[in-house]
Structure 1
Amino acid sequence: MLKRDFHVMACSQRSFNMCHASNLIKLSDNTVITVFFAGSHEGKSDTAIYMCREKEGESSVPVKIASANEAHWNPVLFELSEDDFVLFYKVGNVIATWKTMIMHSYDKGLSWTAPYEMVKGDIGGRGPVRNKPIRISSGAILCPGSLENGPWRAFLDISHDNLRTFEKSAEINYQEDGIFSPLNKDIEVSEQSFSGKGVIQPTVWEDDKGVHVLLRSTYGKVIRADSTDGGKTFLKPYPVNMDNNNSGLDAVYVNGKLYLVCNPVGGNWADRTPLTLFSSDDGINFKEEAVLADGPGEFSYPCIRAYGNALYISYTYSRKNIALDKFTID
């Protein structure tokens, strides 16, 4: 059973037209750091990475922490150690050829180092494309990535040395014939995205059976793939009992239960409302726990993390704000 503790809007004092694709981390003093990209419109060269700090129901003014003369996308946070926070993000006006940048903070997000390329010379985007990395039982860090240069497909970037070097897993491909719908002009995405087909943006977890991913797809269903070798290779992917609207999803594994946040809506480029929190004992069948947001608008691209018996969830709120919710697991 879940109890909703609070609901906060992070960007009430904003200087930008649009914000999207949030990610979060909680500090030991209960401050929540939220990052996202924002600017005039998704894919425009004025988009940049912003950060807010939320505590006790109050949010700071958004602060720009990374910008250049190209579009910025999909920031992802990872706590490498208590004194080393890592920020991944994508840079590039063309998604198919964007690159992944990394910055570090050694003072819990108060300041950041200069950015550097995660994999020097890479084109297409290594590392986490949208969802959080996890550290598995072997000690390896798994970064859930995907590629959009051609058919959409997913992979994991695996690091055995605390993000100094990376080994790319086998790619996860899933294609169905004859399932494609026209674009939905009500969704404020970059026009270049509408021609894609396949699976992208995995969320990853580990249990006693291995490493697993759930994937956003263009086929109206969430797709799952399983690995028995620590994420190096995957068995044949398959749909689970959850609709997907070709929009981002995220999950976290807590005490034998998987918690998933997504739009439970079928169809390619279908509406991005409602946004709902589910639980599952098997990662295939899901039970609704709470509706985070519904009604007209876009409520999308969630990030969910677990800290003890608490779930923290951030998500896009109609492209004008970033919402942050906390739930306690009773």
Structure 2
Amino acid sequence: MADWTRRGLASATAAAGLTLGASRVRAAPNETGLDATGQAVAASGFIFETAPYPQCHASTLVETASGRLAAAWFGGTHERNPDVEIWFALNDGEHWGVPVSVATGVQADGSRLPTWNPVLFQPPGAPLTLFYKVGPSPQSWWGMVMTSDDEGRTWSEPRRLPDGVLGPIKNKPVLLADGAWLSPSSVEAGEGVGAHAGAGWSLIFERSEDQGRTWSLSPPAPSPLNIDAIQPSILFHPDGSLQAVARTRQGMVASTWSRDGGRTWAPLGAVDLPNPNSANDAVTLKDGRHLMIYNHAAHRAETPGKGPRWPLCLALSDDGVGWRRVLTLESEPVRDGYAYPAVIQTRDGMVHATYTHNRTRIRHVVIDPSRLP
């Protein structure tokens, strides 16, 4: 059972199905200089304390059809090692269950390849869906998918997505007003087959109008400013337009817009947040504000194009362009940082986030968005 840190808001946390332990950890100050304890952070703890592998990364989080939380990540000796598998845990309403391996990269001939970047998706009236990647590297991986009719207790046989369809690269798909699924994807230099082979770092969006049976792909989001962007997440705006925000090599969070349901996208620009070439995630809240979880850091002079993956922060925006940093979740330097966050808002209004904690554990944080400044 996760060792949860009591922060107040006990009723909200209980509604989210979490058990709070008696121990405490130091809360980082938020952007206003106030300690987060008793403010927005309702609970914080690890999904597991020990694991049968030394490293884990790239968590994903979803609320299932019954309102439970489920999470997945990859774990193994280290990223790119053939023993890396996809691990899954379900919160039973009181605590996180023991994680189990649900997918490997074992091939038909008995050889083995690493798995990567699981993404959970719960479409209404459909099975819980798990997307992930298999392959020796992001330049040559391919997309896989499997489904569960019992909230992850058992899974279908995995199947490979069609050539050129990678599935959501890191962040969650979204359900559009017309019922279509929109998957935020991307390719890296030399990656892919068919129309997107060798496309460099580019944002691609995959749209399905038949619950994932077939997919159509957008053209890459144009990049006249030579912005290298991957791993987008999708936001909704009142006028019906969509916005995607993404990781870049250029030191800022990239942004692109669509006014046709994700079929085509405007040229890449930037929002006013830094990015140290590290993944972020974002969600449009029920109150219309947009929330991003990200590393508020810059590139180091000795490592241009790459910066530290701390601190880990939350930012809010009213329009998707101007963002204000409102909370710091982690600030203490650690070797592998606090990385690859995932964020959702559950039906009770609470925000849940997971992220890699120094490549050894997955932390889960519960946030009350009404208490964010």
TM superposition shift of 1:57: 6.7
- The alpha-carbon distance between structure 1 residues 83 and 154, as it changes in their structure 2 partners (threshold 3 A), is closer
* Corresponding residue for residue 184 of structure 1: none
The Cα offsets for residues 127-175 of structure 1, whole Å up to 9 and x where unpaired, read as 2000000011121110000001242101100011111110001102436
| Mapped contact 2:87–2:103 kept (Cα < 8 A) | yes
TM superposition shift of 1:275: 0.6
Amino acid at match of 1:63: V
Task: Give me the whole-angstrom Cα distance separating, in 2, the residues matched to 1:258 and 1:65.
Answer: 32
| Mapped contact 2:85–2:103 kept (Cα < 8 A) | yes
TM superposition shift of 1:14: 0.5
Amino acid at match of 1:302: P
| Mapped contact 2:235–2:283 kept (Cα < 8 A) | yes
TM superposition shift of 1:53: 2.4
Identity of aligned residues (%): 29
| Mapped contact 2:123–2:175 kept (Cα < 8 A) | no
Task: Give me the whole-angstrom Cα distance separating, in 2, the residues matched to 1:34 and 1:40.
Answer: 20
* Corresponding residue for residue 171 of structure 1: 220
- The alpha-carbon distance between structure 1 residues 21 and 9, as it changes in their structure 2 partners (threshold 3 A), is same
**Which has the greater radius of gyration?**
2
**How many residues get paired?**
308
| Mapped contact 2:74–2:117 kept (Cα < 8 A) | yes
| Mapped contact 1:176–1:219 kept (Cα < 8 A) | no
Task: Give me the whole-angstrom Cα distance separating, in 2, the residues matched to 1:57 and 1:324.
Answer: 14
| Mapped contact 1:10–1:54 kept (Cα < 8 A) | no
Task: Give me the whole-angstrom Cα distance separating, in 1, the residues matched to 2:126 and 2:320.
Answer: 33
Equivalent position to 1:146, from 186, 192, 204: 186
Structure 1 stretches (4+) deviating beyond 6 angstroms?
none
Residue range with higher mean Cα deviation, 47-56 or 230-239: 47-56
TM-score (normalizing by structure 1): 0.89
TM-score (normalizing by structure 2): 0.79
1:134 and 2:174 aligned: yes
* Corresponding residue for residue 27 of structure 2: none
3-state SS in 2 of match to 1:95: coil
* Corresponding residue for residue 69 of structure 2: 32
* Corresponding residue for residue 201 of structure 1: 231
Equivalent position to 1:158, from 185, 189, 207: 207
* Corresponding residue for residue 80 of structure 1: 123
Amino acid at match of 1:280: S
| Mapped contact 1:36–1:75 kept (Cα < 8 A) | yes
Equivalent position to 2:248, from 210, 217, 228: 217
TM superposition shift of 1:30: 5.2
1:302 and 2:341 aligned: yes
TM superposition shift of 1:80: 2.1
Task: Give me the whole-angstrom Cα distance separating, in 2, the residues matched to 1:275 and 1:166.
Answer: 34
Structure 1 segments unaligned to the other structure (5+ residues): 178-196
1:115 and 2:158 aligned: yes
3-state SS in 1 of match to 2:139: helix
| Mapped contact 1:9–1:59 kept (Cα < 8 A) | no
TM superposition shift of 1:23: 0.3
Amino acid at match of 2:252: K
The Cα offsets for residues 32-56 of structure 1, whole Å up to 9 and x where unpaired, read as 2110001001011110000122356
1:234-245 alignment runs, 5 A limit: 234-245=265-276
RMSD, matched Cα: 1.8
Residue range with higher mean Cα deviation, 53-62 or 250-259: 53-62
- The alpha-carbon distance between structure 1 residues 129 and 66, as it changes in their structure 2 partners (threshold 3 A), is same
* Corresponding residue for residue 87 of structure 2: 50
Task: Give me the whole-angstrom Cα distance separating, in 1, the residues matched to 2:356 and 2:222.
Answer: 28
The Cα offsets for residues 40-85 of structure 1, whole Å up to 9 and x where unpaired, read as 0101111000012235673322211101211100000111235510
| Mapped contact 1:14–1:61 kept (Cα < 8 A) | no
Equivalent position to 1:20, from 57, 62, 66: 57
1:252 and 2:283 aligned: yes
1:96-115 alignment runs, 5 A limit: 96-115=139-158
3-state SS in 1 of match to 2:368: strand
Residue range with higher mean Cα deviation, 80-89 or 271-280: 80-89
Amino acid at match of 1:241: D
1:280 and 2:317 aligned: yes
- The alpha-carbon distance between structure 1 residues 79 and 56, as it changes in their structure 2 partners (threshold 3 A), is closer
1:229 and 2:260 aligned: yes
Task: Give me the whole-angstrom Cα distance separating, in 2, the residues matched to 1:29 and 1:327.
Answer: 21
Task: Give me the whole-angstrom Cα distance separating, in 2, the residues matched to 1:202 and 1:29.
Answer: 28
Residue range with higher mean Cα deviation, 40-49 or 60-69: 60-69
- The alpha-carbon distance between structure 1 residues 107 and 83, as it changes in their structure 2 partners (threshold 3 A), is farther
Could you say which structure has the higher strand fraction?
1
* Corresponding residue for residue 188 of structure 1: none
Task: Give me the whole-angstrom Cα distance separating, in 2, the residues matched to 1:50 and 1:22.
Answer: 9
